[in-house]
Structure 1
Amino acid sequence: MSFLTVIVSKLKEVLYAVLPITVMVLILNFTLAPLESSLIVSFIIGAIFIIIGLSIFLFGVDIGITPIGKAMGKTIAKTNKIWVVVIAGLLLGFFISIAEPDLHILARQVDLVTSGLIPKASIVIVVSIGIGVLIATGLVRIVFNIPLYKVLSVLYLIILVLSLFTSPEFLAISFDASGATTGALTVPFILALALGISSLKRDSKASEKDSFGLVAIASTGAIIAVMIMNIIAQTDKLSGNLDQHSADSVSILGAFLHELPIIAQEITLALLPILIIFLVFQKFSFKMSIKAVRKILTGILFTFVGLVLFLVGVNAGFMEVGTAIGHSIASLDNKSYIVIIAFVLGVVTILAEPAVYVLTHQIEDVTSGYVRRKIVMFSLCIGVGFAVSLSILRILIPELQLWHYLLPGYIIAIALTYVVPKLFVGIAFDSGGVASGPMTATFILAFVQGAAEAIEGANVLIDGFGMIALVALTPLITLQVVGFVFKLNARKGGEVRDVQ
C-alpha cells in the first residue's frame, strides 16, 4: 500500500471514531446544554486537530514504535539469559513510563490537589519504578510460560492487602495512576515488546496468548507503587483547590497556541528515550538496513507530530467543553439526564482513544481474525459507558464510595480469569489499561468534575479522582464475559479451535 493510501485509510477510520462524540456534543448544545459560541468553535477546531493528529499518530506507530518494540522483544528473548530480560524490562519500563504524557497530566493534578504536598516529580518517578519492576516481571512470565491468571491473582491479592493500609484519597489516585500510565505512547510499545518475545515461541497457541497481558501486569505496578508511597509517607488527608481558567481571558486560537509549545516539549521528552534506546540497540544489536532505520525514524517523527496535534486538540478544544456540559446537565432538576448522558459520552469517547485502535488491531492480527476488533470495541464501549455512569452515581449518592465499586469489581474480574479462555484474560486486562487514555483522562474527567461542581455536597477533587479507575475496571469484566460466550459457542458448534 502506498503512503497516501495508508493515510487516507487511517483518516477514514478516525473520522468514524471522532464524529460520534462531535455530533453528540453538538446535539447537547442545541438541546440540554447550550454552550457559548466561542466554546463550540474551539470544540470544532479541536475535533479537526484530533482527527488529523490521530490519523498521523496511528500511521507513525505502525511504521515506527511497533517495529522498535518487536525488535527489542526478539533481541531480549534471543539472549536466553534471565538477568538480561529482568534488566531490560526494568530499564525499558522505567523510561517508557516516565515519558508517558498521561502520567504527567495525572501527576500535575495530584500536585494541585495536595497543594504541593505530593510533588509531580515524586509521583512520576515512583510510578515509573513500579511499572519497570512489573514489566520485568511480565517478561519473565512470558519466558517461563507462567499462566497470566495466576500472576494477576497474586498481584491483585497484594493490592487488596495494601489497600487496607492505604488512605481513601490515595486509593483513588493509585488506581487512576494505573490507567494514566497505559496511555497513547506506552501501550503500543509494551504490546509490541510482548509480541516480539512471545513470537519466538515454538508453540503458536502459547505465543498467541502471551502476546497479551503485559500491559495488565505493568499497570498493577502503578497501583502498588503509589500505595506503598502512601503507606511509607503516612499521608492521610488531601487538600487544595481546583484550578479555574477564565474562558474570556484567552482568545480561541490563543488557547491552541498556548498549548502547542507545552505539549510539543512533553512529547519530545516522551519520545527521546525511545529514540535513544533504539539507536543504541541499532548500533550494537539490531544492525538494520539504512532503509529500515530511515523508515522507523520517519515513523517516530509522524508519531511526534500526530500526538502533539491530538493532545493540543484535546486540551485546548475538548476539556473546557466537557466541564461546561457536565455542569449544565447536572444543574437540571432531573438528575437521570446526567446519568444517561454520562453513559452515552463514555461509549462515544472510547471510540476516539488512540491506544484502543492499536490494541484492537493487534488482537485481530494475532488471532488471525478469530477475535474480531468490532466485538472488542463494542464490549469496551459498553463497559466504559457503565463506568462513567457509575462515576456520576458516586457523586449523586454521597454514601457510595470508590471501594464499593472496586472491591467487588476486581473480585469478579479475578474470578472470571479461572473460567474464561486464557487468551481473553490477557485481552481483557490489557483493554482495561488501554481504555483510560488521553480522551478519557481529559474530556470525561472534565465532564465528571463539571458535574461534581454543580451537585450540592459533592467534592470536586475527591469525586474527580477514581473515574479513571472505574473506566479501567469495567472492560476487565465485559471482555471476559465475551470470552466466556466465545467458549460456550465453540462448545455448542463443536469448533476444533482450542480457545483455552
Structure 2
Amino acid sequence: MNLIVSKLKEVLYSVIPITVIVLILNFTLTPLDTPLIIRFFIGSLAIIIGLSIFLVGVDIGITPIGNVMGSKMAKSNKILIVIIAGLVLGFVISIAEPDLHILAAQVEMVTSGLIGKGLILVIVSIGIAIMLALGLARIVYNIPLYKILSVLYGFILILALFSSPEFLAISFDASGATTGALTVPFILALAMGVSTLKKDSKSSEKDSFGLVAIASSGAIIAVMVMSIISRMDKISGSLDINTNSSDLIIAPFIEKIPTISKEIFIALLPIVLIFLIFQKVSFKLSKRSVKKVLFGILFTFVGLVIFLVGVNAGFMDLGTALGYKIASLDNKAYVIIVGFALGFVTILAEPAVHVLTQQIEDVTSGYVKRNIVMITLSVGVGIAVGLSMLRIVIPEIKLWHYLLPGYIISIAMTYFVPKLFVGIAFDSGGVASGPMTATFILAFAQGAAEAIEGANVLVDGFGMIAMVAMTPIIALQVLGFIFKIKSKKGGIESDIG
C-alpha cells in the first residue's frame, strides 16, 4: 500500500504542473471547448491512476525478472547466452513500452495509416534488441562506452544523409520514446546483473550505466534503415484538429478500452511466457516470489490500459487543440514561451529525473548537488522545447540544424569528461523524455505544426522528443567537467575515471 501511495505522489507531481498551465491558458489566451476540458481532466485522472498502478507493477513484477535474468546470464559466464538473451528480452520489453505505443499511434494517425503502428513497434523493437545484445557484449568484453557511442553515432550521421526529413524526425523521437517507464528499469536491472561479471568494482559501477544509451541508438538506426530500404519519402501528414469537440465525454474512453486491452495483452504475453519457461528450467523461485511477479505483471497490464486510455481519449486531444490555437494567434512568440514553460515544468516533475539526480549526488559524494542538476535539466529541456517550437514557427530551420551540432558536441565531450558521467549523461536522455513528453508536449507540437503555414506536421511536428532527449546529454557532461575541475582540487578524480 505504501508503494502505491509513493507512486501516486510521483505521478501526481508530473501531471499537476501541466494541468495548471492548461487552466491558466484556458482562462487567458485560448478558451477551450468545455467537453474537451472535461475529457482532459478525466484523461489526467486516468493517467494518474494508471501510471501509478503501472509503476508499482514494474517494481514488483518487471524489474525482478530483469534482475534474475541479469544474474543468471552473469552466472552462465557464456557470451552466446548473454547475446541471445539480450536479443529476445530487448524485443519483448521494447514492444510493450507505453511511450513507444503512443508515438507509433501518433505516426499512424498523422500519416493516415500509411506508416502503421505495428510496423513502427516491430522495426524499433528489432533495433533495440540488436543494440541491447551489443551493449551487453560490450560489458562482458570491457569495451569503453565512449568508443562504442562514437562508432554508433558516426553510423547514424551517415544514415541521416540518406534518410528523408520525415523519417529523420520519427527515428530520433523513437529513440527517446523507447527509453520509457517499462524499458529503463528492465535494462538497468540487466546491466547491473551482467556487470557483476567484473571483478573490479569501479569498472562494474561504470558499466552499469550506458546500456540504455546503446539500446536506444538501435531505434534510430532501425527507423532510418527502414526509410532507406522502403524509399518512403515525400510522405505528407495532416491532423484533424478538434478545437470544438463534440459533446461526447465518456464514449471516447469506452471505445478505446477493447483495442488497447488487446494490444497490451499481446505485448505483455511474451514477457509472461519467457518468465514461466525460465522459472521451470532455471530460476526455481519460491511459489510466493512467482505469485508476486505474476501479480506485478497483472498490475502492469491494468495500469497500462488505464494510462493509454486516458492518454488517447482525453489528454492528447487537448494538447493538440491547445498547440493549434496558440500557434494560430497573431503573436507567434506565445507558442515558443508556452513551449519553454511546458518543457521546464515537465522535466522538473518527471519521477525518473528525481532518481537520476539522487544517483549523481551519491556517485559524486555530494560534489554535484541534485538541485543544480535539476535546474540545469529543467532549463535545458525548456530551451529544447522552445527551440522545437521555433523550428515549427520558422519551417526553414530543419531538425538536423539542431541535432547534428548537438550530437557532434555530445560525442566530442565523451573524450574529455570523466567516464562515469558519459554513461549517466547518455542514459539521462531517455530519462528526460518520459510519459508527459511523449504525450502532451508531442501533441502540443503537432497541433502547432498544423496551424503554421508552410510547416509539415510529419517533418516539424515530430523531432521534439529527440530535442528533449539530447539536451541532458550535453548538460550532464558539462556538469562532468565541473566535477572534474572540483575533484582535481580535492584529489579524488581517480575514483570516477
TM-score, normalised to structure 2, is: 0.92
Q: Deviations over 1:272-309 (max 9, x none)?
A: 22111111111111111111112212222222222222
Q: Which one is further off, 464-473 or 432-441?
A: 432-441
The answer to whether the aligner puts 1:413 opposite 2:410 as a matched pair is yes
Q: Distance in 2 between matches of 1:369 and 1:284?
A: 44
Q: Distance in 1 between matches of 2:120 and 2:33?
A: 36
Q: 1:402 aligns with which of 384, 399, 402?
A: 399
Are the aligned partners of 1:208 and 1:366 in contact in 2 as well (CA < 8 Å)?
no
**Which residue of 2 is the match for residue 18 of structure 1?**
15
The answer to whether the aligner puts 1:64 opposite 2:61 as a matched pair is yes
1:364, CA displacement in angstroms? 6.9
**Which residue of 2 is the match for residue 83 of structure 1?**
80
Q: 1:289 aligns with which of 272, 286, 291?
A: 286
Q: Deviations over 1:399-432 (max 9, x none)?
A: 2111100100000111111122222211111121
**Which residue of 2 is the match for residue 242 of structure 1?**
239
The answer to whether the aligner puts 1:148 opposite 2:145 as a matched pair is yes
**Which residue of 1 is the match for residue 168 of structure 2?**
171
Are the aligned partners of 1:43 and 1:318 in contact in 2 as well (CA < 8 Å)?
yes
Q: Distance in 2 between matches of 1:203 and 1:280?
A: 33
Change (3 A) 1:32 1:145: same
Are the aligned partners of 2:253 and 2:313 in contact in 1 as well (CA < 8 Å)?
yes
1:443, CA displacement in angstroms? 0.9
The answer to whether the aligner puts 1:47 opposite 2:50 as a matched pair is no
Change (3 A) 1:363 1:271: farther
**Which residue of 1 is the match for residue 96 of structure 2?**
99
Q: Distance in 2 between matches of 1:245 and 1:29?
A: 15
Q: Distance in 1 between matches of 2:425 and 2:257?
A: 34
The answer to whether the aligner puts 1:384 opposite 2:362 as a matched pair is no
**Which residue of 1 is the match for residue 225 of structure 2?**
228
- Which aligned runs of 4 or more in structure 1 are off by greater than 6 angstroms? 361-372
**Which residue of 2 is the match for residue 5 of structure 1?**
2
Change (3 A) 1:241 1:335: closer
Q: Distance in 1 between matches of 2:33 and 2:312?
A: 18
Letter in 2 for 1:139: L
Q: Which one is further off, 351-360 or 208-217?
A: 351-360
Letter in 2 for 1:448: A
**Which residue of 1 is the match for residue 204 of structure 2?**
207
Letter in 2 for 1:16: Y
1:371, CA displacement in angstroms? 6.7
Are the aligned partners of 1:319 and 1:446 in contact in 2 as well (CA < 8 Å)?
yes
Q: 2:469 aligns with which of 469, 472, 478?
A: 472
Are the aligned partners of 1:487 and 1:499 in contact in 2 as well (CA < 8 Å)?
no
Q: Distance in 1 between matches of 2:109 and 2:325?
A: 25
Q: Deviations over 1:125-168 (max 9, x none)?
A: 22222111111100001111111111000100111111122222
Are the aligned partners of 1:94 and 1:131 in contact in 2 as well (CA < 8 Å)?
yes
Are the aligned partners of 1:58 and 1:358 in contact in 2 as well (CA < 8 Å)?
no
Change (3 A) 1:117 1:330: closer
Q: Distance in 2 between matches of 1:95 and 1:315?
A: 23
The answer to whether the aligner puts 1:346 opposite 2:372 as a matched pair is no
Are the aligned partners of 1:314 and 1:442 in contact in 2 as well (CA < 8 Å)?
yes
1:244, CA displacement in angstroms? 4.7
Are the aligned partners of 2:110 and 2:457 in contact in 1 as well (CA < 8 Å)?
no
Are the aligned partners of 1:242 and 1:461 in contact in 2 as well (CA < 8 Å)?
no
1:27, CA displacement in angstroms? 1.6
Q: Which one is further off, 400-409 or 334-343?
A: 334-343
Letter in 1 for 2:222: A
1:444, CA displacement in angstroms? 0.8
Q: Distance in 2 between matches of 1:496 and 1:487?
A: 6
1:232, CA displacement in angstroms? 2.1
**Which residue of 2 is the match for residue 198 of structure 1?**
195
1:474, CA displacement in angstroms? 1.2
Question: What is the number of residues matched between the two proteins?
Answer: 497
Q: Distance in 1 between matches of 2:47 and 2:403?
A: 32
TM-score, normalised to structure 1, is: 0.92
**Which residue of 2 is the match for residue 431 of structure 1?**
428
**Which residue of 2 is the match for residue 188 of structure 1?**
185
1:356, CA displacement in angstroms? 4.8
The answer to whether the aligner puts 1:310 opposite 2:286 as a matched pair is no
**Which residue of 2 is the match for residue 161 of structure 1?**
158
Q: 1:27 aligns with which of 19, 24, 27?
A: 24
Q: Deviations over 1:221-257 (max 9, x none)?
A: 1111222222222332112432455864462122222
Q: Deviations over 1:53-82 (max 9, x none)?
A: 222222222221111101101111211111
Q: What RMSD in Å do the two structures reach over aligned CA positions? A: 2.5
Q: Which runs of structure 2 are paired with 1:320-335 in the superposition (5 Å)? A: 320-335=317-332
1:461, CA displacement in angstroms? 2.6
Counterpart of 1:241 in 2: which secondary structure?
coil
Letter in 2 for 1:274: I
Letter in 2 for 1:89: G
**Which residue of 2 is the match for residue 128 of structure 1?**
125
The answer to whether the aligner puts 1:269 opposite 2:260 as a matched pair is no
Q: Distance in 1 between matches of 2:368 and 2:54?
A: 24
Change (3 A) 1:397 1:58: same
Change (3 A) 1:28 1:243: closer
Q: Distance in 2 between matches of 1:87 and 1:266?
A: 25
Are the aligned partners of 1:267 and 1:307 in contact in 2 as well (CA < 8 Å)?
yes
Letter in 1 for 2:336: V
Q: Which one is further off, 144-153 or 372-381?
A: 372-381
**Structure 1 residue runs without a partner (length 5+):** none
Counterpart of 1:126 in 2: which secondary structure?
helix
Q: Which one is further off, 224-233 or 106-115?
A: 106-115
